[in-house]
Structures are given as structure tokens and as C-alpha cells.
Amino acid sequence: MKKQDISNTGINLKLPSKSCDDNHCPFHKGLKIRGNFFTGKVTKISSQKTAHVEFPRLFYLQKYERFEKRKSRIHVHSTPCIDIKVGDVVKIMECRPISKMKNFVIIENEST
Ligand SMILES: [Zn+2]
């Protein structure tokens, strides 16, 4: 495990106890994580290594000078060393584009 890749994020992380040989794993292979960081809920596990994560955000309405609540739903890559199921709260972080829809990877499951 490369310690450097994880300490670069500046976030306190629980490291996965399992190991894996997924090429897009930030802990066991050298996938670099950088950029945006969100905490959201898993709404769907669509295929073997893909999940959908939803999180609320605030959108500013200029006319009324206040915020309204909106939701973002994005496709994320889930590595085999982090077990997830629908309803779990997970931390996700941006990485290089893994496929057409996936620019994020799950780095921690808060529910376990
Ligand atoms: Zn892994």
C-alpha cells in the first residue's frame, strides 16, 4: 500500500481491511484521487463495480436571495475491497475519468 496516495487527500480515512487487485483502486493500485470530495448515500448498485451516489446541495436563487435544496446523483466506481450496499453512507472523491460516466471513486464506507 502506498501511504503517500492517501495522505495527499488531507482527509481522515479508515483504510480498507481487505486487499484487492482492481486496477482502479486508490489504495492497492496507484489511482490518484484529487479534486472534489462529497459524502452521499448509495441509491443503486448498477453493475459489478459501479454504484450511484446521491447527495444534497444548495442552489442560490438570486431573485429570492435564498437557497433551495437540490440533489446530485452521480455514477461512482466502487472497488471490491470496500463492501457497499444500498442505503450506505459513503465518502467519494474525484479521480481521473475511469469511463464515460465515472469520474469518482468510493474511498470509505461510513456505515460499517
Ligand atoms: Zn483495493
- Please list the residues that pair with 60 across neighbouring strands: 67
Q: What kind of fold does domain 3-109 have according to CATH?
A: OB fold (Dihydrolipoamide Acetyltransferase, E2P) (2.40.50)
DSSP class per residue in 61-81: ETTTTEEEEEEEEEEEE--TT
Residue 37 Cα to ligand 1 midpoint, Å, equals 19
Residue 105 Cα to ligand 1 midpoint, Å, equals 11
1 pLDDT more than 50? no
**pTM, to two decimals:** 0.83
What is the reported pLDDT for 50? 95
Residue 86 Cα to ligand 1 midpoint, Å, equals 20
User: Which residue in the block uniquely carries the three cell numbers 469518482?
Assistant: 104
What is the reported pLDDT for 12? 76
Decide if 33 contacts 9 (C-beta within 8 A): yes
Q: Average pLDDT over the chain, rounded to whole? A: 88
Residue 59 Cα to ligand 1 midpoint, Å, equals 35
Residue 18 Cα to ligand 1 midpoint, Å, equals 7
What is the reported pLDDT for 66? 96
Q: What's the whole-number mean pLDDT along residues 52-64?
A: 95
**Lowest pLDDT segment from 12-16, 18-22, 86-90, 91-95:** 12-16
112 pLDDT more than 90? no
Residue 60 Cα to ligand 1 midpoint, Å, equals 38
d(CA 106, CA 91) in angstroms, rounded, equals 6
